[in-house]
Structure 1
């Protein structure tokens, strides 16, 4: 069962996503960062969304909720733990809940860390996950509302998905993430090759997403807390996973 995806830039660096079940034409919008860019994407594709799958409450992900609800009469779904902060929400979801988009079944994965109620959406048959501001290409979200251990647990959940899972994230941060990653994992040949490829894509004005769980496991330092070389580079050979992850996140915050 195919899931058609239209990815486009909103605001300055947010990604907007339209996800369409090819069999039925039913379409979901993953977050609603900017009305104008979303309407342009709807006109360009001819895909009219019937639902918004909200990942978290930050304004750059919900700004267009009410305008789009008024225009399309769509349903807004979002995390139960952030319901009071999500404009126009109609239905709440939590860990393990499922939502159908046409013939596609989507599973909710609670991935707090960036915010306390953040969720990711996983379309198991299509093998696609939308991780918004939890997992980025070569990065992870800033810890605004949670301790490092909470985000670490969320990332472990995502890395338990099949390695071939296709990942779409909330922002085009990959180039700066790559520059940071090389400071903690400078001898990683896969990372160096990927960083060069990313520079080329950005020079051509092309997006760096999607990515995959396998690619992130090989190159994303926020998923490589166990790696002995990274631990040695940090001087943390005998530290816990949480301590290593927290140090990498702290360094990124200051980068």
Structure 2
């Protein structure tokens, strides 16, 4: 049975995600921007939190960990490479480490770029990938610590997951990301359609996260840096893919 996924808005534009296995009762949360919304959701559903999974060290993803662990006694998992700047970890993770929730096992993927120690969690049976601030809805995270080449490698790895994979990213940035994407591909019909859907969802106050990998492949400019039309759009027809990605990222930073 697939894990149950719950998206929880936190702070101004962050998301946390609950993963629940009905058979065992085990429940994990991915990232903790703020404890109260997560505790409220757990209480509403009658679930007991057992595990806290951290993607990276930025405060808007971990500042609620201390209160949430104190309230629930949940075990905290995070990257071994970032242990010095994360809340105290019960389990330290590396590339290829596994996390088990009920009968399902997820795998840790190193996704440097936004930060050097950023990790993602992939649960293939449920078709879920928790990418936080690496691959985002129609975007990717700023390069605060990594290089363009590192982020391009990260995105290329994530792009190779099954296209039906549900991408659980960390922020409600979709509308602004689409505005930028349209500046590069104004005639992309999938992007135009996505823009309409996202605008309607935001008018209703509905999250636009998660998305699907197939949707990202069709509309996310950062996954499309290898395509001839994207190289033409940024005037780098003879450049390598990583260089084109870096130019797209630089343009987004100025947008």
Q: How does 1:110-125 map to 2 (within 5 A)?
A: 110-125=110-125
Aligned to 2:173: 173
Note the 1:17-166 alignment, pairs <5 A.
17-166=17-166
**TM superposition shift of 1:218:** 0.6
What's the secondary structure of 1:144's corresponding residue?
Answer: coil
Following TM superposition, where does structure 1 have runs of at least 4 consecutive aligned residues deviating by more than 3 angstroms? none
SS at match of 2:19: strand
| Alignment RMSD (CA, Å) | 0.9
Q: Distance in 1 between matches of 2:23 and 2:2?
A: 7
TM-score by length of 1: 0.98
Paired position in structure 1 for 2:224: 224
Residue segments in structure 1 that go unaligned for 5+ positions in a row = none
Does structure 2 conserve the Cα–Cα contact (< 8 Å) formed by 1:138 and 1:178?
A: yes
Partners of 2:11 and 2:185 in 1: how far apart?
A: 31
Distance in 2 of aligned mates of 1:143 and 1:37: 29
Paired residue for 1:188?
Answer: 188
Deviation at 1:23?
A: 2.1
State the partner residue of 2:209. 209
Query: What is the CA-CA distance between 1:65 and the residue it aligns to?
Result: 1.1
How many aligned residue pairs are there? Answer: 255
1:7 is paired with a residue of what secondary structure?
strand
Distance 1:4 1:241 in 2: 37
SS at match of 1:49: coil
Contact 1:2 1:22 in 2 (8 A): no
C-alpha distance in 2, partners of 1:50/1:98? 16
Structure 1 residue 22: deviation in Å?
A: 2.4
